[in-house]
Structure 1
Amino acid sequence: MFDINKLVRSNIKNLAPYSSARDEFSGEAKVFLDANENSLGSPLNKWYNRYPDPHQVKVKQAISQVKSVAAESIFLGNGSDECIDLLYRCFCTPGKDNIIICPPTYGMYQVSAEINDVEIRKAPLLDDFQLNLAHLETLADENTKIIWICSPNNPTGNSLHRQDIETVLNNFNGLVVVDEAYINFARQKSWVQELAEYPNLVVLQTFSKAWGLAGLRLGMAFASKEIINVMDRVKPPYNINQVTQELALKALEEVGQVNDMIRLLVDMRNALAEVLVQLPGVQKVYPSDANFLLVKINKARDVYNYLLEKGIVVRDRSNVLLCEDCLRITIGTEEENTALVDALNQLN
């Protein structure tokens, strides 16, 4: 039976969170003399001399409308990486607890675990890049606090079977984090709508991919109010800056444009896959539900270096488990995709 009180670190349970100046009053005000800001303004001729909303209320309300999720079930992080780190700091006791990752997968799950001195256990994906449920079951014990699942997965690009994720959620009493950074490019349904059914579920999404706002560093975590409350207690008071909040609000008014970009990127992904698979030296183009392709190619490292000489940067994943001789290629503009194909044709 899932019990969040058994997961939260004891020092976090007893934590008195920092109370910012903006937390200590309610209602509207015209004169702010509480936060030691520069009352004369800023060189930018905007009100950036004032601290941003520490609770990002307007942004969460806008996201709530788009995602059909209650605002109190939303946490905003300085990129998804902050959400990942906070989950460790809230729920994993250093030197005692462990987590499970399923490589090949996003590297920050491991890096953040190492930073927080949390043991990492690995249940590698099967040859078809799906979960190895039997291995997961053998690894989990009473000190396993989080299982990390990336779907669509990075770097493989595929979606993990929904019924397998359901099995993990139903049989594990710790947190199950489903990272959906690439969900907008997939046909599968987001897990965001399942929060009420699974109290141990945390869903990560981001503004970096489909929304095209990687430079803003804005990640989202969706979970029960109880989990979000714990994360809010631990986060820095002003973790999302004013500019990011303003631009995110503008972007959330342009859902139609974002959907158009998603459709175009998916069409270009499919078209590029059809071209690449016909090139000499290409052994396989793996099916993708993301905005990138994993391509198995002869002498991948040599091809990577050759493309660099042509001014084209892809990601060499040859040293990653199950991705030997593979390049990960982001879907670019039509001109960029054409330049890539032309360069590969010249190589052959």
Structure 2
Amino acid sequence: MPIHGLSSSLTSSSPPHFDIEKVVRPNILALHPYRCARDDYKEGILLDANENALGPSITTSKSEESASTPSNDDKAINDLNALNLHRYPDPTHDPVKERIASIRGLSGVDHIFLGVGSDEVIDLLMRVCVTPAKEKILITPPTYGMYTVCAQVNDLGVVKVPLQLSDEKGEGGTEGRFSLQVDEIKKAIDTDPSIKLIFICSPGNPTGTYIPLSSVKALLDYEPFKGIVIVDEAYIDFVLLSTSESESDKPSTVSLVKDYANLCVVQTFSKSFGLAAIRVGVAIAQPPLIQVLTNTKAPYNISTPTAHLAFSALSPSSLTSMRKNIQTLVSNRSSLLQALARLAPLGVGSAIGGNDANFVVIPILSKGDGRKPDNTRSQKVYKALAEENKVVVRYRGGEPGCEGCLRITVGTEEENRVVVESLEAVLKVL
């Protein structure tokens, strides 16, 4: 059954064991997507979508005396009104996609889907590919919690193959702590053919560890697996742009998209771009999967103001600013790790994971001889930091391989100084 809206010139044949029409649910393949007003015409006297022809009713209240002096509110409203807020958004936002394609080295907009944050992309992939109450996804804990949440909402089974939880190097793709256990994932696939999607977080959350392309390729090339490998790269720019001179030796999985129709890379504007509030996620894949996602999404999932901000964030000057901010955060991360290491006598263990993102993960150790990661002490420290010092970090001791751990986002120099001083003070009394 062909995918509606997909040009015959955009079909895929690599790898040979993958057929997207056997992965996508039949009811989704048969779906005729909702055709919205702006799909046909975008200019002229637009009387086709029952919009309010008089425009938005956003106003400011100010006294007559100050009426002649424009306020900041007036300027903001004028800027918004220039976006034609009384009209429905562009359903495709190709200008935003064109800029993403340019910076990610993609051949065109047909490789890109925009979602309301990465969470919409994750949820949509599950809905189009995995049959409720019958089929499953595979995750590699410790990992991003929304994979499990979305699976539960969609009534999907979840198979868990933990990351390598020790520091020992092993076979089959394991390269130390929090690396991918490729052989174990293959065993799970062989045991359970109902697995349709594999979710990999790289760099991981909460691990901060980059997963090498060799491990991802091993799953993409594994003939018994007929589903899709999804690589969540929310933090990838902290890897790609951690050095200003040469290309990163830890490339994005986007480089594999041209060769693998069974790969989907998920990125976001929330982290490196500093735009968590606008909620824009990106799926990057070959056109057949992108077309399926486009057919299934809500007609106007990305608002005009949101698209305007995303477009601006992708301008040359904004990208320069983004890269500068990443350099600053990477430097601050190094300084934070050094400062935390000086708290070792008080029970701060060495940071775990790859430290490839904009956070660090540290274990809080028990007191006395034979110190080891201590969940009870760690929880007390977490609460004391938040409730007594107004410093909020994240407790992660319940995650596999993260016993006693706190996750600390890299802040400004001042924020990092305060968190270290507060942590030192708390540890002296707990």
1:231-255 alpha-carbon deviations (Å, 9 max, x no partner): 0010000000011001111111111
- Which of 339, 347, 357 does residue 281 from structure 1 map onto? 347
In the other structure, the counterpart of 1:101 is 139
- Which of 130, 148, 152 does residue 179 from structure 2 map onto? 130
Cα deviation, residue 134, structure 1:
2.2
In the other structure, the counterpart of 1:74 is 112
In the other structure, the counterpart of 2:370 is none
- State the secondary structure of the residue aligned to 2:259: coil
1:240-285 alpha-carbon deviations (Å, 9 max, x no partner): 0011001111111111000000111011011101110220211121
2:116, 2:281 within 8 Å by CA — same for their partners in 1? yes
TM alignment of 1:172-183, pairs within 5 A:
172-183=225-236
1:284, 1:297 within 8 Å by CA — same for their partners in 2? no
TM alignment of 1:1-348, pairs within 5 A:
1-23=17-39, 25-26=40-41, 29-44=43-58, 45=78, 46=81, 47-69=84-106, 70-127=108-165, 128-140=177-189, 141-171=192-222, 172-186=225-239, 187=248, 188-253=250-315, 254-279=318-343, 280-286=346-352, 287-298=354-365, 299-308=377-386, 309-347=388-426, 348=428
- Alpha-carbon separation, structure 1, partners of 2:87 and 2:103: 28
Deviates more, 1:303-312 or 1:165-174: 165-174
Displacement over 6 Å in runs of 4+? none
- State the secondary structure of the residue aligned to 1:111: helix
- State the secondary structure of the residue aligned to 2:350: strand
Q: CA RMSD in A?
A: 1.1
- State the secondary structure of the residue aligned to 1:283: coil
2:23, 2:226 within 8 Å by CA — same for their partners in 1? no
TM-score calculated relative to the size of structure 1 = 0.97
Cα deviation, residue 295, structure 1:
0.6
Cα deviation, residue 29, structure 1:
2.2
Cα deviation, residue 221, structure 1:
0.4
Cα deviation, residue 62, structure 1:
1.6
Cα deviation, residue 173, structure 1:
2.3
- Alpha-carbon separation, structure 1, partners of 2:321 and 2:301: 28
Partner amino acid, structure 1, of 2:308: E
Structure 1 alignment gaps of length 5 or more: none
- Alpha-carbon separation, structure 1, partners of 2:126 and 2:383: 37
2:385, 2:391 within 8 Å by CA — same for their partners in 1? yes
How many pairs does the alignment contain?
A: 346
Structure 2 alignment gaps of length 5 or more: 1-16, 59-77, 166-176, 240-247, 366-376
Partner amino acid, structure 2, of 1:258: M
Larger Rg: 2
Cα deviation, residue 65, structure 1:
1.6
- Alpha-carbon separation, structure 2, partners of 1:338 and 1:291: 16
Partner amino acid, structure 2, of 1:173: K
- Alpha-carbon separation, structure 2, partners of 1:135 and 1:117: 24
Cα deviation, residue 142, structure 1:
2.6
Identity %: 45
Partner amino acid, structure 1, of 2:351: V
